Amino acid sequence: MKQFPLRIGVLLICMLLLNAGAAAQKRTVNPATGAVSWETSVDGVALLLTQILPDQVRAFYLNRGLPAEATEVYATACVYMTVLRNDSAPGVVHFRQADWSVVSGGASRPPLSLEAWFERFEVYELSKSATIAFRWAQFPAEHDYQPGGDWNQGMLTTGLPAGAEFDLVVRWDVAGRSYEGVLKNVQCAN
Partner 1 sequence: MRWLVVLWLSLWLAPSQADLPPLTHNLTAIAEASPAPELRLLSMDDEMIDIDSLKGKVVVVNFWATWCPPCIREMPSLEALHQETKARGVVVLAVNIGEDIDTIFPFLGSVEPSPSFPILLDSDSSSLSRWKVRGLPTTFVVAPDGSLAYQAVGGREFSHPDLIEQLLHLMD
Q: Which of 56, 76, 113, 187 binds partner 1 (CB under 8 A)?
A: 56
Separation of alpha carbons 26 and 162, rounded Å: 22
Q: Which C-beta is closer to partner 1: that of 48 or that of 102?
A: 48
Q: Which of 45, 46, 89, 168 binds partner 1 (CB under 8 A)?
A: 46
Q: Does 114 bind partner 1 (CB under 8 A)?
A: no
Q: Does 59 bind partner 1 (CB under 8 A)?
A: yes
Closest C-alpha to 24, from 38, 37, 41 = 41
Which one-letter DSSP state was computed for residue 128? H
Q: Which of 129, 162, 185, 189 binds partner 1 (CB under 8 A)?
A: 129
Q: Specify burial of residue 55 (Cβ count, 10 A radius: 0-12, 13-18, 19+).
A: exposed
Separation of alpha carbons 120 and 117, rounded Å: 5
What's the gap between Cα 40 and its chain centre?
A: 11
The 3-state DSSP class for residue 74 equals helix
Cβ of residue 171: shortest distance to partner 1, in angstroms? Answer: 18
Q: Does 172 bind partner 1 (CB under 8 A)?
A: no
Separation of alpha carbons 117 and 74, rounded Å: 8
Closest C-alpha to 174, from 81, 87, 82, 49 = 87
Q: Which of 8, 90, 109, 153 binds partner 1 (CB under 8 A)?
A: 153
Span of 6-14, 54-62, 104-112, 170-178 interacting with partner 1 by CB under 8 A: 54-62
Q: Which of 66, 70, 77, 85 binds partner 1 (CB under 8 A)?
A: 85
Which one-letter DSSP state was computed for residue 102? E
Q: Using CB under 8 A as the criterion, which residues of the chain lie in contact with partner 1 when the complex forms?
A: 28, 30, 32-33, 35, 37, 39, 46, 48, 50, 52, 56, 59-60, 63-64, 81, 83, 85, 87, 128-129, 132-133, 135-137, 139-143, 145-146, 148-154
